[in-house]
Amino acid sequence: MVKKFYLLSIVSVLLLVLVPAKEAFASTQEKLLDVSKQYIGVPYSFGGSTPHGFDCSGYTSYVFNEMGISIPRTTLTQWEVGSSVSRSDLQVGDLVFFKNTYRAGISHVGIYVGNNDFISATSSRGIAIVSMSSNYWGPRYVGAKRVSNFNVANSNESGSNESDWFTDLSKKHAAYEAIKLMTDEEIINGYTDGTFRPDDSITREQAAAIMNRHLNLEASGSTGFSDVSPGERFYEDVSAIQNAGIIKGFPDGSFKPKKEMTRTEMALIVARAFGLENHPVSDRDQIYQDINENTNYFHQMSLMNAIDRTGVYNTSNFDGQSDASRMDFSVAVYNGIETTE
């Protein structure tokens, strides 16, 4: 009888210990995601290890320290700790490593957050979530290390409609995948406060810079524009795009770099940039109700619908004289890339 009571007591104690432990695993993983994501948008700072500015290993060591886990400070020393994990077995919280970024060999580290994405300190966007399969990061992936088990069973890999990319862009948004790819490839960037601001207008100089990040054309001599001078932020992009005949100036010799780009202008430069000026469009006489075959640049505007992969341009009107938004331009360039690759 005494033995039976003793065994029951042990079982009771184990239940009291084990059940809260299971709950602790779940809350630990949720905490890791919360802690890591709260710094999205914090700027990159070489040698930085505080919320005022992070480099890649400074960020990972800071987040893990917040979780009560001590790891070394540098990327190379972090590579030396924990157990190796195959890519197919990655769990939320694993450290993922990349090579040949700003130096030869292992040079970048981030934290795996699920869905083939990782969060890290990037030089262009600060703390950001990016895809491990992007054209930039995919070929540079080296391996992963697990320094703590954050309970993959409760991984946040569900179909949440919340966007891990930007706070103002839901996964339900028609442009989400296009903008995700464009930012992942660093063709267009978001803002340091974690927003994308999809409805903001885009200027002519910004459009030139974004287009040239994909085309990677070299500047060639002077632009000839009276209002674009060497040394200005987007001078080389404007020069390269102008010399390629993609964006043109105005009769008075100006470029008007700060002027908002219209949706018609956007359609023109996308058609030119991707060589789609003779691309077939719908057999319908009128895709958009506010333009017809007698409208200037009818083909280029109709093209935005013909090459659209997102549904963003499946609308009743084209509104060619309205300002092109960051979303409009991102999707148009994305569609051009997808159509020509």
pLDDT digits (tens, 9 = 90+) for 13-38: 333 333 333 333 334 778 899 999 99
142 lies in the same domain as 78: yes
95 lies in the same domain as 17: yes
Residue recorded with tokens 């990655």: 90
137 lies in the same domain as 215: no
Q: Could you tell me the pLDDT band of residue 8, with boundaries at 50, 70 and 90?
A: very low
Average of pLDDT values for 80-100? 93
Residue 228 lies in a domain: yes
Residue 171: the pLDDT is 85
Residue 234 lies in a domain: yes
What is the pLDDT of the chain when averaged over all its residues?
85
Average of pLDDT values for 301-318? 94
Q: Which of 58-72, 148-162, 173-187, 274-288 has the lowest mean pLDDT?
A: 148-162
Decide if 39 contacts 4 (C-beta within 8 A).
no
149 lies in the same domain as 209: no
Of 95, 123, 158, the domain-final residue: 158
Which strands, in side-by-side order, build the sheet including 117-122? Answer: 83-85, 141-146, 95-99, 106-114, 117-122, 126-131
Of 129, 158, 187, the domain-final residue: 158
304 lies in the same domain as 227: yes
Give the CA distances from residue 266 to residues 206, 209, 210, 340, in Å, rounded to whole numbers and listed in that order.
12, 13, 12, 17
Residue 93: the pLDDT is 94
- The CA distance from 324 to 90, in Å, is 40
- How many CB atoms within 10 Å of residue 262? 17
276 lies in the same domain as 214: yes
Residue 168 lies in a domain: no
Residue 295 lies in a domain: yes
144 lies in the same domain as 77: yes
Residue 283: the pLDDT is 56
Instruction: Give, for 317, the enclosing helix (H) or strand (E).
Output: none
Average of pLDDT values for 71-95? 91
Decide if 222 contacts 239 (C-beta within 8 A).
yes
Residue 290 lies in a domain: yes
142 lies in the same domain as 70: yes
Residue 163: the pLDDT is 56
139 lies in the same domain as 216: no
106 lies in the same domain as 213: no
Region at 107 (left for phi over 0; alpha for psi -120 to 50; beta for the rest): alpha
Residue 146 pairs with which residues in a beta bridge?
83
3 state SS of 125: coil
- The CA distance from 76 to 108, in Å, is 9
Is residue 321 predicted with pLDDT exceeding 90?
yes
Average of pLDDT values for 115-133? 92
How does strand 49-50 pair with strand 117-122?
unpaired
Q: Could you tell me the pLDDT band of residue 151, with boundaries at 50, 70 and 90?
A: low
3 state SS of 288: coil
Residue 193 lies in a domain: no
58 lies in the same domain as 147: yes
How does DSSP classify residue 108? E
Decide if 122 contacts 169 (C-beta within 8 A).
no
Three-state helix/strand/coil letters over 139-193: HHEEEEEECCCCCHHHCCCCCCCCCCCCCCCCCCCCCHHHHHHHHHCCCCCCCCC
| Spatial CA neighbour of 112 closest among 161, 181, 72, 60 | 60
For residues 149 and 127, the model is more confident at 127
Residue 272 lies in a domain: yes
Can you read off the two tokens belonging to residue 193?
Answer: 């406060």
Residue 169 lies in a domain: no
208 lies in the same domain as 328: yes
Domain tally, the chain: 2
CATH number for the domain including 125?
3.90.1720.10
Q: In which domain, by residue range, is 296 found?
A: 204-340
Residue 145 pairs with which residues in a beta bridge?
84, 95
How does DSSP classify residue 341? -
Decide if 229 contacts 205 (C-beta within 8 A).
no
How does strand 95-99 pair with strand 141-146?
antiparallel
